[in-house]
Structures are given as structure tokens and as C-alpha cells.
Structure 1
Amino acid sequence: MNRLAALEARLREDLRWLELPAPSWVPPRFADAERVLDVAVIGGGMAGLTAAAELRWLGIDNLQVFDRAPSGREGPWVSFARMETLRSPKQLTGPALRMPALTFRAWYEAQFGRDAWDALYKIPRTQWMDYLRWYREVLDLPVRNDITLTSLRPRDDGLLELDLADASGERTVLARHVVLATGRDGLGGPSVPAIANTVARRYWAHSADAIDFAALTGKRVGVVGAGASAFDNAATALEAGAASVDLFIRRDDIPRVNKLTGIGSPGLVHGFADLDDASKWRFLHYAQTEQTPPPRDSVLRVSRHEGARFHVGSPITTLDERDGALAVTTPKGHYVVDFLIFATGFHSDIATRAEFAPFARFVRRWKDRYQADPSLPSYELAESPDLGAAFAFQEREPGTCAALTQIHCFNHAASLSHGKLSGDIPAISDGAQRLARGIASRLFDADRERHYQALLAFDTAELRGDEWTEADASSDTSRARLQAENAAENTAENTAENTD
């Protein structure tokens, strides 16, 4: 047995010793002559896989994960992520759900050994995808690929209707709960400044787009932004042979300190959701304003190229098409580029997503009930959904769409309500456990009468009735028992005398 097979055997044994998964306990529900899914998970990336694993371990096995990407290409890791290694330290346990044999380290050492692990600096991006593929396989998680959610509709009977499309056409499935494990742009999409729309689309792309970098060989490229994706895209363009890359950075300096790292702890993980509204807003507004710096390696990956030029304090003020190129103007000068990449992040405006249109207008956002300090403005935070327990949406107006509480926002948009538990590697297991336990609680509560009837009907006896005798029986019964005992003793004595 090779070492990876041995690790998988150890994991199976660990799960067996912990009695995981728990036995299935959710009563089946049928509607429209078909079985209703207890949980449908939209997104088979890291968050979706972790959520599905924890749900199954809690005995909720009538679930299905759907992902629009081909198998093995879920999430950003081998699509629009362009860094060489992950930012997170290699030792973080990520989606392992407190199972040592399920960690990246265990998987890596099983294949390459302890010395290789000790020598590893950070986790290569594509190798992380390999690990997630193994994670899905070793846990036998029910993922269906190449399927896109086109509409999610709450029904009057409390169920959720999902329209799904694949190469064979469209079909509809029903679910009691839906988990939106849809990543960084989970409720919205790429964010680009309005100035981008003043020029033809062929001249620019967002950093999350599928970009043909080979076509940029010998070209002048501009990149807007100062985050990790800005430097990853700049480096990829330069490595593909771009003649030059100008980085246009709005700030007067590149951010240098990752503020949230400084307070990372179990206290933050488990305590953020219980903070008062003003404190939640203050924490995330400050982190957002300070911005997460790009990794040092990512910056060096760009600056080692002679064609890299950094322009700080340089927001783009005008953008014009000129002689088949773009004329870029900033407060510091005028520049010409052939192609511009906006590494300007994502938004969480649920109203922009067609598949969520049937219920988006009922969703309560933070701006609907909380007025932030005017000195701490943030469009992104204001648009964030105001989530309840188990990452569930809530109604903006009570009584308008009760089934919203069965849709769970397990993606980046949950950050203001629950903290960074639903998309980043450090606390994804904690988030999945919070989510799954909440769904388990709601499923049990919804079926409370069926569980109560099962309680009444249960009649498997553990005692036969012959294990004990009543000490306070009636005197007649006591005398009868005493006479029987005396008779038995006399019989025994007579037998002994006759034998002698």
C-alpha cells in the first residue's frame, strides 16, 4: 500500500471511530411526485465541498452539489486566479474540519515526504486545486458539474425551486434548503469603474475574465489596482511577453500591512457574529479602508521585469480611444496602452444577478436597517445582505417571503454579518460547521411533529421484564413467593438427606 492509500485508510478509520457520517435521520419529503432534496449546494469549490462534507457528517445525506465548471476546475484556482502560490501559510488546516488526515499537509506528506513539506515555502496554486480534487474524491461528495443555476424561486409551499441548465437542456429540482457557496462574487459580480464603459469592450477586461495573455505579447498593458490580483495579472502579462505593464494605483502608496491578520484568533472567528452592529461595521470598514496588501512575492514577481512601471497616486481621470489604443490620463501624466486590465474587485449587489431575481427584492440588506456613522461610508458594506443564523437571508419586510430563511449565503457577501468564515482558507471549516449545524436544527424543527410521532411509535425494548422483582409487592404475593421459596428449600433438603 502506497502512502496516499495508507492516508486514505487512516481517514476512513478515523471517521469510523467518530461514527461519521451519522445515520440518516431527516424524514423524506416528496412533492410533484419526486423526492425533494434536503439541501442543494450551489458551487463545488472549497466552500461548497466543506459545507457538503459537514452536512453529510451530520446525517443529512439527501443533498446535491451543483457547479457550472467542468469537474476539477471549480472555484478560481485554475481559472482566473493567477498567483504562483497561495497567500495563506501552508500549515493552515483549511477545509479539513478538524480531521488531521484530511489536511493539505497530510495529503502532501503522504506523496512527497516530511522533508519536502519542511522545504515547502507556500502552497502552489495548482497544487491546492489537486488537493481539493482529492478531498472531493476521498469523501465521495455528490458533485454534479457543467450545470448552471438559471433561477432560484421560493414556492408557496415553503420549498425552493431551482432551474438548472446543462448541455442536455433545462430541468427543475426542488429543495428544502439552498446553500449559495458561490465565492468572491457570490451575489454580485466583477466591479469596474464607470470610466471603463466609455471605451469599447475589446480594449479592456476585468481580472476575473478569461484573458488571452498570449495575445498581449509585445503589447503595452495597463493594470488598475494595488491588490494581489493586480500584481498577479501584471506578472502574467509580463511573463507572456508584454512589452510593458503600467500599474495605475489610486493610493499614494501600496498597502503594506494586513490588518486583520494582526487580530486573527478563535476569538475573532467565533465572536465576530455576536458583536453589535456598529462594531462589526467599524472593524470591516477599517480593514476595507486600509486594504489587504499584495504578497511581497507577488510584487517582486512584477518588479523584476524591466517593463514594469508603478504609478502611485494615479487614479484614471480620463480614458479615450486613440489610433487603435487607449489614452490614459491620471493626475500625474498621460500614457498609452493597448489593453487595460481592471483588478478592481467585486460587488455584492444581489439585484444584478438574474438567477436571484425572483427573491432579491425581498432580501434585507444592511442599508435597509442600519445607518452607519457618516464618517465611515461604504457602498459595499451597505449592500451586504443582513444575514441571520446559519448564514440565512432575512426578509426586508416581514411576511413577504418566508422561504428566504431557507436560502443560505455561504460566500464572501456574508462577511459583515458573520465574519470571514465563508470564503477564505483560515476559517472555512468553522463556517461550514456553523452553517451545517444551523441547517440541521432547522430541518429537525420543521419536522418536529414527524419526529414526535416517531418518538411515540418507537417500541424496541431494551429490557425483557425478567431482570428484576418488585420489592413492594402485595402481602399475598409476598406470602406466595415466600411459600414457594420455602418449598424449594425443603425439597432441596429432603433430596440431600435421601442422598446421604
Structure 2
Amino acid sequence: MNVQNPQPAIGLARLEQRLAEDLSFLELPPKEWVPATEYDGKRVHDAVVIGAGMCGLVAAASLKMLGIHNVVCLDRAPEGSEGPWVTFARMETLRSPKQLTGPALGLPTLTFRAWYVAQFGAGAWEALGKIPKDQWMDYLVWYRKVLSLPVRNLVTVTNITPVSDDLMALDASDGANGGQERLYARHVVLATGRDGLGGGYLPDFAQNVGRRFWAHSADEIDFAALGGKRVAVIGAGASAMDNAATALEAGAAGVDMIIRRKHMPRINKFTGISSQGVVQGFAGLSDDWKWKFLEYTLGAQTPPPRDSTLRVSRHPNGRFFLDTAVGNVRENGGKVVVETSRGDLEYDFVIFATGFCVDLDRRPELKNFAPFIRFWKDVHEPAKGAANGELATSPYLGPDFEFLEKVPGSCPALRLVHCFNYPASLSHGKLSGDIPAVSNGGRRLARGIARSLFVADREAHFANLVAYETPELLGDEWTDSAPLLSETSKGAAE
């Protein structure tokens, strides 16, 4: 690239034209091949994807690129607010390097880089540091539009019920019109994010104080109301830093980061081994080795981004209390007292940046399946000293992200529900929650669903094979010559 004369912006219309040409050259998406089916007078969806954030869009796009068109994504958020990017993700920029192709599915013209350069030019791309998170949301909105992905917003799935071993019913409430409806699907994909199988993790003692005194970092928080207040943030991860910085920027009188560890983690271990070897090979590891990789990584902890940490420390009223364990919280005269290993500390508000947990009791849509789902704790005994509660409660998934039965034969329809969210990491690696390898995860998921659909419809496909009668030869391509008889043959014939 000539930096002195960088490529000018071509505009999104031209980029979209190029993308359409690329898809045409690759014959994508292919024609629909799954036989249409009905139940109770309704068309059955080949797949219903719950969630239209990044993972949900990638799942739908991957299915479409394999000719599976009868798919719908359902998301409870308004259009443009799917996923965490403009809600509880309070960082300024993504931590992922800008050049990662993320959800582009191998198409150069579908990358964030192509989208950005088309609007702002190559010079602006070279000058860009990290991707602003609101701009990432804008890109995902464009991604959905340009691929014509079928998303319905303001729809909340309230229940999933097996109709048979091969069919699911989904009950949903439509926030746009206040109605209730039932959909039918042959496969269900849970693209429901970090809290997709539970919710935010809270220590039990959080319940000792009234709800007005605290929030989880993934909650809606009125930061303006924290102006002039003293705030504690419990935790040291990315969300802890981003919530602390947001409170400081909103005018909090002071924010204390209460951190159990003596030292902040500094090295992101998974970044150090990121490769296609890990992406493609992790699922092939033995259970012992999968556990070893993830237990070591969780034990080392992922450091918060440097920018997020500096965003806190640039404020003189932002303090870091390392080597400080929290044992309890209690109310006292309109304040909340945090009991720590360095003594009692008093605040107006506490933010628990304590991560997420698997808790199926908090997912009413999964109540019919919860007793039957196999978890790692059901099948794997970790090595001595390697126990980990978060890993133990991870679902033990099949090769297509499908749930497996705790007791074989107890719920055959469970194989139709695919866990394409963060808790899948122990079974498949980080293919369904983070940007770097999400396209690989989407393609693995889609290939598995395509295979399952074809096998289930094998009789129909064989009947189509038998019925296919379009000739390639028309019969006029040659002349049938009579055999020449030898003289001996002629004599014998006479």
C-alpha cells in the first residue's frame, strides 16, 4: 500500500456490490435442499436460533451458506441492541486486535476491515488502534442486513418442549404486539451469550443487603445516580475495570477496586497459543487434556485490557485494593459495609463484577431439559488439585455443540438443542463466545445440523434420486452401426 496516497473510501454501496459478486462467484448461498415439513398446520423451521448477537448471526449465516434457508433468529432486544456491545459491555474499545476476521466466514468483503475502509479509507484504517465497541455494533447491524439474515426482535422464548424425538415446540412472547405464539423447529440453537445457561454469579452474602445497594456488572446500572457517591467494585477482570471507569466518568466521589489476588494477572495465556491448531484441534483432545488446558487458563486468569485499567487509574479517586478478600456485606445507616481482610469499608453502592455461572434454574426455557443434560461433573474426575467448579458445571457436548443425555435414552430430543454459547468452551474450545474463531464455530455447528437434517430426510432424498429423470444425453449424439459379418459367418448363415 502506498501510505502517501492511501486507498480512498469507496462507500458501502460499492462494497456491497463487491460482496454480492463474491457470493455469486462462489455460488453462495446455495439453493434450498431441505424438504419442507409441517406440524399442526404450521411450517416447521429447520432451525430456530435463540439470540441474534454475534454468535446468533454467525450461526444463521453459516446455515444459509449451506443451503439451509428455513431458519429464524429470535432476540428479545430491540433491533440494534442485540448482544452486549451497547448494553452492559462498558469498555471503550474491543480487546481483540482490529485485523481479526471474526464473523466474516472467510469472505474478505464481509470483514470489519472491508466495512471500515469502504467508509473511511485505508489511511483511517492504518491510524485506527482498537475497534470502538459501538462501531462493532454498527458493523454487526450491517452484517445482518447485507446477508439478509432473518431476525425477529422483541421476541422472548419462554419454553422449549419436545413434541417428538425429532421435533421441538417453542413458546414465545412477542413484545412488539404483546402476543403469544408457538413455533416448531427441527433444531434449536442457543446463541445466548456468556449467561446463556444461567446468569451473573453472585456470592451468597450479596443478598444480605437491599437490592438498591448493589448491582451485577451485567445489570442495567444508572451511573448518573452514582455521581458524588462512593462505590466499590468487587473483581479485577475486564468488566470490573470498565464498570469502575464508567462510574468515575459519571462523577462518582471515589471508586475502590477490591481484588482478592495479591498481584494483577498480566498475561493472557490463550492469546499466547492462539492458532488454527488450537481452533481445529482442541475438540480432538481427550477429556483429561481439555480439562488441563482450561483449568490452567482459568487458574492463571485473564488480565483486564491495559486500556481499561489505565481508564481507571488515570482518576486520582480510583483506588486498587489488592490482596483484599471480601467476606460479607451488611447495611449500616443507609450505607453498605464491605467486610474485608483489611477491615470494614463503607460505601454507597457495590458493583459485583464476579462473572457468570451455569444455573439452569434461572433459564425457564430449558426447564424441560435441565434434568437430562450431561455436565462434565457427571463424566469426568479431574486430577488431584485440578478441581474447578466452573468447569464442572460446563455442559458435556457432542461434536455439533449438541447437548448429550446424562442417562442415554432418557431424552432423545435433547440432541436437537445446540449450545452455541460461552459454556461450550470446555468441549469445543473458544469457538462460540469470542470474536477470533467464531466463524470456525459457526461452520462446525452448521455442518453438523446439515448432516443431521440430511440423515433424517434420507428416504425423501433417495426418492428424489430415484425420481430424477433429467437426461444429459438426448439420444441423437451417435449412430448405432450394424455389426459387420465376416465372409465365414456369411457362408455359415447361407
Determine if the TM-score, normalized by the shorter chain, exceeds 0.5. Answer: yes
Q: Could you say which residue in structure 2 is the equivalent of 1:247?
A: 257
Q: 2:26 aligns with which of 5, 8, 18?
A: 18
Mapped contact 1:351–1:361 kept (Cα < 8 A): no
- Return the offset for 1:470: 5.1
Query: What are the superposed Cα offsets for residues 152-171 of structure 1, whole Å, 9 maximum, x if unpaired?
Result: 11122520010000232211
Q: 2:411 aligns with which of 401, 414, 421?
A: 401
Mapped contact 2:165–2:412 kept (Cα < 8 A): no
Distance in 2 between residues matched to 1:319 and 1:24, nearest whole Å: 58
Mapped contact 1:67–1:143 kept (Cα < 8 A): yes
Query: What are the superposed Cα offsets for residues 339-376 of structure 1, whole Å, 9 maximum, x if unpaired?
Result: 00000000123343111001111111111111111311
C-alpha distance 400-307 of structure 1, shift in aligned 2 (>3 A): same
Q: After the TM superposition, which residues 25-36 of structure 1 pair with which residues of structure 2 at under 5 Å, given as runs?
A: 25-36=33-44
Secondary structure, aligned partner of 2:445? helix
Q: Could you say which residue in structure 2 is the equivalent of 1:280?
A: 290
Distance in 2 between residues matched to 1:329 and 1:379, nearest whole Å: 24
Query: What are the superposed Cα offsets for residues 317-340 of structure 1, whole Å, 9 maximum, x if unpaired?
Result: 121101100111211122110000
Distance in 2 between residues matched to 1:208 and 1:473, nearest whole Å: 85
Mapped contact 1:349–1:384 kept (Cα < 8 A): no
Mapped contact 1:387–1:417 kept (Cα < 8 A): yes
Q: After the TM superposition, which residues 103-118 of structure 1 pair with which residues of structure 2 at under 5 Å, given as runs?
A: 103-118=111-126
Q: After the TM superposition, which residues 223-238 of structure 1 pair with which residues of structure 2 at under 5 Å, given as runs?
A: 223-238=233-248
Q: After the TM superposition, which residues 431-450 of structure 1 pair with which residues of structure 2 at under 5 Å, given as runs?
A: 431-450=441-460
Secondary structure, aligned partner of 2:88? coil
Distance in 1 between residues matched to 2:169 and 2:409, nearest whole Å: 19
TM-score, normalised with respect to structure 1: 0.94
C-alpha distance 145-475 of structure 1, shift in aligned 2 (>3 A): farther
Q: Could you say which residue in structure 2 is the equivalent of 1:77?
A: 85
Q: Could you say which residue in structure 1 is the equivalent of 2:199?
A: 189
- Return the offset for 1:469: 4.2
Q: Could you say which residue in structure 1 is the equivalent of 2:6?
A: none
Distance in 1 between residues matched to 2:114 and 2:282, nearest whole Å: 30
C-alpha distance 358-473 of structure 1, shift in aligned 2 (>3 A): farther
Q: 1:52 aligns with which of 56, 60, 74?
A: 60
Q: 2:147 aligns with which of 139, 153, 174?
A: 139
Query: What are the superposed Cα offsets for residues 270-327 of structure 1, whole Å, 9 maximum, x if unpaired?
Result: 0000000000001000111111000111111000111111111111112110110011
Amino acid of the residue matched to residue 56 of structure 1? K
Distance in 2 between residues matched to 1:455 and 1:139, nearest whole Å: 31
Distance in 1 between residues matched to 2:437 and 2:165, nearest whole Å: 35
Secondary structure, aligned partner of 1:392? coil
Q: After the TM superposition, which residues 68-467 of structure 1 pair with which residues of structure 2 at under 5 Å, given as runs?
A: 68-167=76-175, 168-467=178-477
Mapped contact 1:51–1:432 kept (Cα < 8 A): yes
Runs of 4+ in 1 over 2 A off after TM superposition: 349-352, 468-476
Amino acid of the residue matched to residue 423 of structure 1? G
C-alpha distance 170-474 of structure 1, shift in aligned 2 (>3 A): farther
Mapped contact 1:158–1:403 kept (Cα < 8 A): yes
Amino acid of the residue matched to residue 60 of structure 1? I
- Return the offset for 1:38: 0.4
Query: What are the superposed Cα offsets for residues 107-128 of structure 1, whole Å, 9 maximum, x if unpaired?
Result: 0000001110000000001000
Q: After the TM superposition, which residues 452-491 of structure 1 pair with which residues of structure 2 at under 5 Å, given as runs?
A: 452-469=462-479, 473=483
Distance in 1 between residues matched to 2:337 and 2:358, nearest whole Å: 31
Amino acid of the residue matched to residue 231 of structure 2? V
Query: What are the superposed Cα offsets for residues 234-280 of structure 1, whole Å, 9 maximum, x if unpaired?
Result: 00000000000011101111111000111000000000000000000
Mapped contact 1:364–1:396 kept (Cα < 8 A): yes
Distance in 2 between residues matched to 1:337 and 1:474, nearest whole Å: 108
Distance in 1 between residues matched to 2:304 and 2:454, nearest whole Å: 45
C-alpha distance 30-306 of structure 1, shift in aligned 2 (>3 A): same
- Return the offset for 1:390: 1.0
Q: 1:63 aligns with which of 71, 74, 81?
A: 71
Secondary structure, aligned partner of 2:400? helix
Distance in 1 between residues matched to 2:240 and 2:465, nearest whole Å: 59
- Return the offset for 1:475: 5.0
Distance in 2 between residues matched to 1:471 and 1:276, nearest whole Å: 65
Q: How many equivalent pairs are there?
A: 478
Distance in 1 between residues matched to 2:374 and 2:204, nearest whole Å: 26
Distance in 2 between residues matched to 1:214 and 1:337, nearest whole Å: 16
Structure 1: segments with no counterpart, 5+ residues: 481-500
Higher helix share: 1
Secondary structure, aligned partner of 1:391? coil
Distance in 2 between residues matched to 1:49 and 1:161, nearest whole Å: 22
RMSD: 1.5
C-alpha distance 475-464 of structure 1, shift in aligned 2 (>3 A): farther
Secondary structure, aligned partner of 2:365? helix
Moved more, 371-380 or 42-51: 371-380
Answer with 1 or 2: which has the greater Rg: 1
Distance in 2 between residues matched to 1:456 and 1:88, nearest whole Å: 51
Secondary structure, aligned partner of 1:172? strand
Mapped contact 2:235–2:258 kept (Cα < 8 A): yes
Amino acid of the residue matched to residue 265 of structure 2? P
Mapped contact 2:50–2:189 kept (Cα < 8 A): yes
C-alpha distance 328-19 of structure 1, shift in aligned 2 (>3 A): same
